Amino acid sequence: EVQLVESGGGLVRPGGSLRLSCETSGMTFITYEMSWVRQAPGKGLEWVSYINIGGSAIYYADSVKGRFTISRDNAKNSLYLQMNSLRAEDTAVYYCARRYCSTAGCLFDYWGQGTLVTVSS
Amino acid sequence: DIVLTQSPDFQSVTPKEKVTVTCRASQYIGSKLHWYQQKPGQSPKLLIKFASQSASGVPSRFSGSGSGTDFTLTINNLEPEDAATYYCHQSGSFPLTFGGGTKVEIK
């Protein structure tokens, strides 16, 4: 069974930092691209960042570019998101999502349960 | 950036009714459009992939259609457990984007 388990969320003051982790199991992690997607309270889904299999291709939403860093450790089957200079508008549930790719294209097929990040003084 | 515009934002329907949700892309995306269902307190679940292909285990009452810029999610014979928010998502180009969501309430 594929499992994605996020951790590392919590309450942080504006300007602070947090590092989220996503531990995966039941899948061959090294063969999947991965992303972070967030959801502010009562709002819709917002894609945050993407990393390819080897970590050589990385993309960010404009809203987090320069502040967030995505990374992965294929030996530990884990995905990370280092979040610096946090703002109130970064308050959200952060989901780790597996990106499945075929000849037809790619999509998010599995999601974690999410970890809540609250930025407040 | 590709903007996905969903409509309606909210729909209140009785069981066994038919629900139609539309998603319009600001640029051509072929069939790289997917639909997700999210129930309160849960993570999104893949319903329809590549515009019209049902994901594994999804009831046959859910179907998708469209290509290019205009897409539709249809729920036939609505069941009480279908109360949720539905999102479209394009995977054609970065930044990846989602529609604003359509909340379906059961009367």
Q: Tell me the per-residue pLDDT of A52-61, one tens digit each, with 9 for 90 and over.
A: 999 999 999 9
For A41-47, the CB contacts below 8 A with 24+ separation are A41/A91, A41/A92, A43/A92, A44/B87, A44/B98, A44/B99, A44/B100, A44/B101, A45/B36, A45/B38, A45/B44, A45/B87, A45/B89, A45/B98, A45/B101, A46/A92, A46/B98, A47/B95, A47/B96, A47/B97, A47/B98
pLDDT band, residue B4 (cuts 50/70/90): very high
- Output the pLDDT for position B28: 97
Residues of chain A with pLDDT > 70: what percent? 100
Which residue in chain A is spatially nearest to B102 when comparing CA positions? A44
| pLDDT grade for A35, boundaries at 50, 70 and 90 | very high
The pLDDT of residue A83: 98
What band does A118 get if pLDDT is binned at 50, 70 and 90?
A: very high
- What per-residue confidence (pLDDT) applies to B1? 96
Please tell me if residue B71 touches chain A, with a CB cutoff of 8 Å. Answer: no
Minimal C-alpha gap between A113 and chain B (Å): 6
Calculate how close chain A gets to B14, using CA atoms only, in Å.
Answer: 24
Of A61, A106, A112, the CB nearest to B43: A112
Q: Does B95 touch chain A (CB under 8 A)?
A: yes
Contact across the interface for A109 and B94, Cβ inside 8 Å: no
Confidence class for position B84, pLDDT limits 50, 70, 90: very high
